[in-house]
Amino acid sequence: QGQPVESGGGSVQAGGSLRLSCEDSKYTRNSYCVGWFRQAPGKEREGLAVTYMDRRTTYIDSVKGRFTASFDKGKSTLYLQLSSLRPEDTAMYYCARVPPTDEAPDRCLRYEFIDWGQGTQVTVSS
């Protein structure tokens, strides 16, 4: 079935913005929730935002108010708008999803996602 195509990463100065995209029809047409994650060198992968198909989204505290997750079903694309970027936001960013099964609600809460993208690098300089 292939991997989603992620794009939009780049190098910006602190305070700058980027919009990440994750394109794959499975995400918008056959998911219970979709998520954005990041992993910095030497650190564990961190869940940033979880979006449910009713468009309700939860965020971790460190990105709340700065990052905004959304999706466009017509374009089969997820988006993560990054604003007020900080050097500590430097990481590889990934999208992933939870398919709609009976276990999906718990899997979304436990960050048990599948179909990971290849990642897109975000680098923020001070």
What's the whole-number average pLDDT of the chain? 94
Q: State the Cα–Cα distance between residues 104 and 25, nearest whole angstrom.
A: 18
Using one digit for the tens of pLDDT, what is the confidence trace for 71-107?
998 889 999 999 999 999 999 999 999 999 999 999 9
- Give the model's pLDDT for residue 96: 94
How many residues does the structure list for the chain? 126
Q: Which helix (H) or strand (E) holds 107?
A: helix 104-109
- Give the model's pLDDT for residue 29: 87
Residues 22, 95 contacting (CB under 8 angstroms)? yes
Q: How confident is the model at residue 8 (pLDDT cuts 50, 70, 90)?
A: very high
Q: Which of 124, 90, 121 is nearest to 7 (CA)?
A: 121
Residues 3, 25 contacting (CB under 8 angstroms)? no
